[in-house]
Structure 1
Amino acid sequence: MKIRKIVIYGFGKHENKTIDFSDGINVIYGHNEAGKTTIQQFIVLTLFGFPQKNSAQLRYEPKAGGKFGGQVHLHDEVHGNCIVERVQGKSAGDVTVYFEDGTQGEEEAVKALVRQYDRASFESIFSFSLLQLQGFERMDETELSRTLLSSGTTGVDTLLRVEKKMEKELGDLFKKTGRNPEMNVRATELKEMEKELKSEQERIAAYAPKMNRIHEIEREWQEAKRAYDSLREEHRALELELQLLPLKERKRKLSSRLDEVRTSSFPSDGIRRFEVISGRLTEMEAKKRGLEAEIAAMEQKMPDSPRPEMLSAIERMLAREPEWHDWRSTLGSIRETKSQLNVKRMRLLDRLGLDKSDALLRADVSIHQEEHLYEQLQQMDEMGRQIGYMDRQLSQLENELRDIRNEQLSLQRNSPTEMERKQAEEWPSISSRLAEAKAYVQMSRSNQGDGNPQMLLILLIVAALMSIVGLISDQWIVVGLGACLAVIAVLFKIGKRGGQPTNKDAEMERFVDAYEGQAATMEALIMKVNDYEQRQSRLAEAAKTIERKMGVLEEEYGAIVQGKESLEHSLSSFFLAYGLRKIPNSGILHEFFGMARSLQEIERELEDIERQSQTIQDNIHLRQAELERLISIDVPESSIYDTLRSEYISLKEKMQLFNTLSHRIEEYQTQKLEAEELAASLRSQQQELFEEAGVETEEQYYMAYAASQETLTLTHQIEDVESQLTALGSVEDHIERSENQLREDIHQVGRELAGLEEEMGALVKEKTSLEVETEKLLTDDSYQRKQQMFEMKKAEFAELAKQWSVRQAIVEAITGMMEELKEKRLPEVLSRAENIFSELTGGTYMSLALSENGYFQAVAQNGQRYPIIELSQATKEQAYIALRLSLAAAKEETAPFPLLLDDPFVHFDETRFSRMTAILERLSAKHQFIYFTCHDKIVEYWTNATIINVSDIGSAKGAMTR
C-alpha cells in the first residue's frame, strides 16, 4: 500500500492543503510548530477515525473553523487506486471510500483496506516517534526487555498492560506478609473469630459431662437405694436374731420393753413415705433456689423496656433510606454539574475577556442583533480596508512626492550656471556662422586650388542628413544648421572661380580658428541645459499632479475616517454595554454571540440547579432533624443512616433479649411456683405424717418410727416366743453370737444405713444443681450467632480467594502466551532484526538474543553477551528500531502499510545515521517511508528522497518539493 497524496480540508493549523508523496522515502521537513506531527496524525486519524470528543487524545479540529477532515489517496495491491475521505460527523467522523471502478464504501470498506487493523495495532508496528524512545533511559532491565519484545511481536503490549493490571489486583487481594489486602484482613478476622468459637465450644463442651453426671447420679442413687434396702433387711434379721435370746427372759424383757416403748399407732409404711417426701421436698427446695438465682441473674441482664413505637419509626426511616441516598447522590451530581458549569462559565468569561458577566447576561444576543452588528462590523472593516488602501496610496504618493523633491534638489545642485546658459543660447548662431565660415573658407581654398567636387557633394549629403535627423528628432536647430550648410555649399559652388584671397576670407579664417575646437564642448553644454530644463519641467508637472491626487485622497480619507469613528463610537458604546473593552473582530462575532448565548444558558442552568439544590438540601435538613430526634445525638450527615441502622439493630437486639428473658423469667416463675406448690404439698404430707405419728419434728418422727418398729418387733417376738413357748413348752438356745456382738452388728448396720441416707440426699442436691446449669446452657444462643458470623466471613474469604484464583490464572495464561510468542513468533523477527542491528552498529554487535529469564541481550563480535540495559541510549534505540523494521518487513504480505517515522534517529551519530539511511533506502524498494524531521542537517542526508518543506506548503497547488 502506498500513499499517493493527501488533501487536507481543515485539520489543526492546516487548511486547504495538498501534499503529493512518492513511492520510496518522503521526508517532511519543517521547523518547530510548522505542523509536521499534525500531518502524521491526519494520515492516522483519516484511516482509523477521529478520537471521541471527551477523549484525552487530540482531535485536531481546525483552529479557524471551516470544514474538518480531508482525503488520503492510496494505491493498494488488492484494491487498486482508491480515496479515503473522512469529514466531521459522528464521533469517529463520516468516512467514504472511492474506488477506481466508481463504487463507494464506508467504515467496513476502510477496515478491509487497513486489513482490520485498529489504530493501536497500526501505531505499535508502522508508526513510532522519538517520544517512544525517550523513556528507555529510565527503564529497568525487565521493562526494557518487555518493550523490545512488544516491539518485535504484535499484541504483546496489550497483554503486558493486562498482566500488570492483574498483578496489581492480585497484590490488592493478597500478599504473604501484607496486612491491608482484603484476603489478609479476612484471614485475620477469621483467626480471631475462630478463637472466640473455640472458647464458646469449650464452654458448651461442659454440657455433656454434666448430663453424664446426672445419669451417673441416678445410677448411684438406685445402687444406694438397693444397698439401703439390703441393709434394712440385714438390720431386721439381726434384730430378729437378737430377739431369739432365751424366750422367757426374752419374753419378760420383751414384755417389759414392750410396755416401756409402746406408743400410739405409726403411719403405715411411714418411714418410706416420709423419706420419699423428704427427698422430693429437698429436690424442690434446691430447684426453687436455683430458679430464684437464675431469675435474679436474668433480671440483672434484663435491658430497659424497649419502645416498639421507636423501633417502628426507625423501620419507617430505614425504608426511606434510598430516598436519602438519592438526594445525596443528586446533590453530589448537582455540585459536580455546578462546578463544571462554573468552569465553563469562567472559561467563557476568560475567552471573552470579561471579569463579570452581569451586563452580558442582560444583553440582547438574538440572531437579529448579531446580523445587525455583523453588518456594522463588516461596514467598519470595509472602511478600515478603504482607509488602509488610502493610507497606502497617500504613503505611496508622499514617497513619490518626496522622491521628486529630492530629485529636484539634486537637479538644482547640478544646474548650469548663468554663463553656461548664455553660451548655450548664443551657440546656435555661432555654430551657424562657424559652418558658414568653414564652408566659405573651404570653397575659397577650392577655388584657389582648382576646386574639389567631392567636398561639395559631401557637404550637400551632410546638410541633407542633418535636416532629416532634425526633423525626425524634432530638433529645429539641427534642421537650420543643415539648411545653412546647403546654402554654403551652393555659395561655394557659385564663387569657386575667384582666384585671389580677400579680406573676407581672412576674417572667415580668423572666425573659424577662434571657434573651431569648441563645437563638441558647446554641443554637450547645449544638451546639458536642454536636459536640465526638460527634467525640471517634468518634475514640476509630476509634483503638481501628485499634490492634486493627494488633495482628493485626503478629502475622501477624512470623510471615511469620520464615518468610521462615528461607527466605532456607536459600536464601542454597544460593546461596552456588553462588558467588552474593545470591539471584536467580525470574524469572531458569531463565536462571541455563541459564547454569550452559552453563557446565558449556563447562567440559567446554574439558577435551575441552585433551586433544585436548595430544595434537596431543605429535604436533607428536614430528614436529618427527624433522624437526630430519633437517635437523640448529633451525627455527621454522611454517617447518620449508619448510626440509625446501628441504633435499629441495637434496639432490635434489646427487644429480642427483653422478650427472650421475659419469656424465660415467666417460665422460671411458673416452674418456681410449681416447685413452691409442690414443696407446700410435700410439707403438708409431711405434717400429716407427723400428726399421724403424734410428733412435731423429724427427729421425733424417726424416734416414733423407731418406737413403733420396736413395739411391732417386740410384739411379734413376744407372739413368736409365746407360740414357741406354747408349742415347745421350753426354748433351747441356738444362738451363736452374744448379745453384745449382735448389738454391735445392728449398730454397725444402722450407721451404714445412715451413711447411705446422707449419700442419697447429697446425690439429689447435686442432680438438682446440674439440671439448672444444663438448662442455662441450652437456652444460651451466643454460640449460634458467632458461628453464623464465622460462616459469613468464610464465604467472603472464599469469594475473594476465587477472584484471586481467576486473576492468577489470567497472569499464568499471559505468561504462557508470552513464552509461546518468544518461542514461535519472535525468532522470525529476531533473525531479520539481527542483520539490521549488526549493520547499524557496524558489526560491533552481531545479533540480539533472549536469555533464559526472558531478558534481551546484545551479542558482540567476540561472543560476549551484554544485557540491553548496559548499552548506550542510542544503541538501545537502534535495537528497538531494528525490531520495529523487522516486524514491518515480516508483515509485508498481510499488512503492506507505509511506515511513519517521527524523527526517531536524532540520538544517532553521523556514521550510524548514514547506515540507517542506507538501510531505509534499501527497504524503500518494498516499503514506503514518510519521515518527519525538524533538523536541517538531517535533510541533507536524504539524497534520493522526496523532500517536502511544510513551511512552503501551499493550498490546492500542492507542496513545495525538491
Structure 2
Amino acid sequence: MKLIELHIYGYGKFEDYVIKSLDQFVVFYGENEAGKSTIMSFIHSILFGFPAKQSAEVRYEPKNNPKYGGKIKAFFPDRGVAVIERVKGKASGDVTVSIEDGTIGGEELLKDLLKRMDKGIFQSIFSFNVHGLQNIHALKGEDLGRYLFSAGTIGTDKLFHTEGFLLKEMEQRFKPSGRKPILNEKMRELKEVQAALKKAEQLNDQYSNWVSEKEEIEGTIDRIEKEIQQLDQAGGQLREYKRNERLVLEAAALERKIKEQGHHFFPEDGLKRFEKLDDQLKVAQARGLAIKEKQDHFENELEKYIPDFALLEMETEIEARTKNLSLYEQLKQEKRLLESKLEELTEEISLLNDQLHTNFNEENIQYSNTSIFIKERVENIQQTQQRLADKQQRLEAEFDEEKKVLAELEANAQRLKSQLLGEDKRKQLMMELDQLENRERIQAEWRYVNDQMEAVKSNKAAEKVKSKKEKSKNRQQTLLFGGISLIVLIWGIMNGIWLLAAVGIAGIIFLTVGQLRSIDHPESELSAEAQILSKLIERERDLKESLSRHSDGNFFSTKSLLEKDEESRQQHRELIVKIEQQHHRFEKVVQQFEEWEAEQANWKQKKTELLNQLGLSEKQGPIKLLDAYHLLEKQKQYFREKKRTEESLKTVTASIRDMEDGLKMLAHRFLQNGNLTPVEAAGALKRAVREALEQQTKHRDMISKLAELGEELASLQKEELVLREEQAELITNADAVDEDQFRLKAKNTEQVKGWSARLQDINYQLDASGIEVEDREKILTGISLDEQLGENAAKLEAYKRDLTQQFDSIADVKHKMKVIEEGGIYSELLHQYRQLQHEFAEDAKEWAKYAVAKDMLSKTIGRYKEDRMPRMLAKAENFLSVLTAGVYGKIIPQPSGSGFLIEREDHVLFEANELSQATAEQVYVSIRLALAAVHHDRYPFPIIIDDSFVNFDHLRTARIIQLLREMSSQNQILIFTCHRHLLDYFSDKEIVHLQDKSLKEV
C-alpha cells in the first residue's frame, strides 16, 4: 500500500487541510505543536477507525468545526487506487471505500484491502517512535536482551512485559527456595499441622477402633438395605402378576378356540374385493354400449369433409411464394437504392482520381501495392520525415546555443587574462612575502628567547633564596649534631669508653666532609645556570641583527595580492578547460548536421521507391505519402464496393423476376386465372389453402375420434375379461367351488380375525405390564400367587427389624466418637489440616494457570525461533552490518529463554547489556526494520517513524537514512521530525512542511 494523498476535513487543529502527491520517501517536518502527532493519528484513524471515547488515545475532535474525519487516497498493488473516507458516525466512524474499478464498499471492503490487519498489530510492526529507544536507556541486564527479542517477535514490548508479568505472578505464589511466597508458607504450615495430627492420632487408638467398627456396621447396613430393595422388587412383581391374572387366563382360552377352528387360507379382504370387481364389471358393460352408438354417428359424418388433396400437396410451395411476397416491395426498393449507390461510387472514384492526379480503373488499381507491409513502411517514412524535421530544429538550436556559450567563455577567459599579474611582478611579491614570513618567525623566536631569559633569572633568584634557607637550616643541624658528637667524645675519653669516643670522632669527621661538599655543589649549579643565560643572551643578539637586516612591509597585503592572483589564474585555467570542452561539443553538433543531411538523402530515395510501388508520382507536385496511401486504400475500397453493388443488383433483379413468374403459374393452375397481379394471386391462393386445411383438419379429427372409440371399446372388452378372471382367481384361492361357498368361508374368516384381534390386544396389555411368556407359565402352572405374596412380606419384615438394630448400634458408636472429638485437639487439628489442604489446592491451581501460560509462551517463542525468526534475523543482520559499518554483523538467539547474542567482526560475542548504548539502539532499529521488511510480501504497508534517530551522530544518521532509502523501493517510508538538521539529508520534494499557513494545500 502506498499513500498518495491526505485530505483532512476536520481533525485536531487541521481543517480542510490537503497533502498531495506523497512520494515513496516523505519527511514531515514541523516544530513542536505543528501537528505531526495529529497527522500520524489521522492516518491510523482513517485506516482503522477513530479511538473510542473511553480509550486512552486522543480522539483529536475539532473544537470549532462540526466536520470530523477525512479521506486518504492510496494505491493497492492488487486492486489499484482506492479512496478511503471516514467521517463522524458510529463509535469508530462511518467509512466508505471507492476503488478505481467501480467497486464501492464499507468496513468489510476496507478490511479486505488491509489484509485483515488490525490497528494494534499495524502500530507494532510498521509504526515506531523514540519511546522504543527510551526503553533501551531504562533497561539493564537480561531485561535488555528480552526487550530486543520482544521487539523482533511482535514489534513491541508486550512479549517482554507479558513474560515478566507471568514470572512475577508465579514467584509471588511459589519459589523453590523461597519462604515468603504463599505456597511456600502453606507448605510449611501443612507440614507442622500434619506432624501435630500424627501425635494426636497416637493418643486416640481407641478412636481408631471405633472408626473400624463404624465402617463394619455401615457395610452391614448397606447389605441389608440391598436385600430389602430386592424383596421390595420381588413383591412388586408378584402384585403385578396378581393384577394381570385375569388377562392371562382369557388369552389362554382364546388361543384354544383359534387352534380348534384350524387354519384355512382366505384372501385378505376377499369378499370386499369380489363385490368391487362385480360393480366394475357392470360399469364396463354400460360404457361399451355407449361407445358403439358414437361410432355409428361419426361414420355417417365422415363423408361430408373430403379436402382438395392436390392443392394441399402444393401447400409448402404456395406458402413459400406468398411468404416471400412481403419482401417483394423491399426488393424493388433495394433495387432502386443499389442503382443510386452505384452512381455515387462512380462519382467518388472519379473524384479520388482527380485528387491523386491518376486515372485508376478496376484493372490497373490492382497493381498498386497497399499491403500492411507497405503501410508500415509509409508510416516509417512519415515518422522519419517528422523526426528529421524535429532533429533539424533541435540541431539548429543547439548550434546557436553552443556557439553563444563558446563566445562567452572566450570573452571571460580574455577578461581574466588581462587581470593577471605579470611574471616579474609576481616573482617580486613572492620574494617580499618570504622575507616578511622570515621576519615574523624571527620576531616570534626573539620573544621566546626573552621569555626564557626572564625565566632563568627568576629561577636564579629563587634558588639563591632557597639556598640561603637551606644553609641556615644545615648550619643549625650541623652545630647540634657536632655538639652531640663532641659530648660523646669527651664522655668516652673521661670514662675510658673508647667505643663512644670512636663514635664521637666518626660523627665529627662526617660533619666536616658534608660541609665541604655543600660548599662545592652550589658553585657547580650556579655555573650551569650562568652558561644557559649566556647562550640565551648570545642568541638574542643574533636575532636582533637578523631583524635589522630584513625590511619592514605589510605581510597580509602582499599575501592577499598573491592569493587573489592565484585564484584568478585558477579560474583562467578552468575556463581554458571549459573552452576545449565547448569546442568538442560544437564540433559534435556540426558532425550531427552532416549525419542529418545523409539521413535526409536516404529518406528521399526511400520515398521515391514507395511512390513507384503505389503507382504515384510527384511530377504534379509534392505528395504527403501517408495521406496518399490512405486515399489510395480508400480508392481500392470504392472499387471493391462498386463490384459488390453490381453483383447485389443482379441478384435482386433475378429474385424479383422469379417471384412474379412463380405466382402467375400457381394462380393459373388452382385459380384458373393467370392475369392477376402478384399481390392478388397470393391472397387468393392463401384463402384456398386455408379452406382446404380446415376441411382436412375436420376429416382427420373424425378419423382420429373413430380410432379412439375403437381403441376405447377394445380396452373395455379387455377390462371386462380381466375382471371376470380376477373373480375366478379369488374363488380358486379361497378353495371354493362357487360364489356361495366363497361367501360362507368369508364369514368364518372374519370370526377368527375377531378372536385374533382380542388376543393381540391382551398380549399388548401384558407386554406393557412387563409380563413375559415365562411369567404367564408361572401364573398358569406355579404356586398360588397369594402364598408367594405372604412369604415375601414375612421376609421383608425380618430384614427391617435387623436394619433397625444396626442403626441403633452405629448411633452408639458415633456418640462415643463424638465425645472424643468434642473433648480433644484431634478434631481441631483435622479440621485445620483439611482447610489448609483445600487452600493449598486452590493456590496451587492459581499458580498452575500462570505456569501453563508461561510454558505456552516459552513453546511459542521456541517455535518462532525455529520457523519465523531466521528470516527476520537475516534481514536484521544485514541492516546492523550497514548501520555499524561492518563492526557488528551477526545476531544469534539465546539457546534458552528470550534474548540475543551480538557477534563483533573479530567473532567475540556480547550479550545485549554488554553493548554500548548507541550500539544497542542500532540493534533495536535493525530488528524493527527487519520485522517490517519480512512482512512486506503479505502486508505491503508504509513504515511510519517518529523521531527515532535523534540520538544518533551524523555518521549513524547518514547510514540509517541511506538504509531507509534502499527500503523505500518496497515500503513507503514516512518520517516525522522536529529537528531541522535532519532536513540536510533530504531533497526539497521529499519534505512536507507542517506549519500554519493561509494555503490549505501542501
TM-score normalized with structure 1 length: 0.39
TM-score normalized with structure 2 length: 0.38
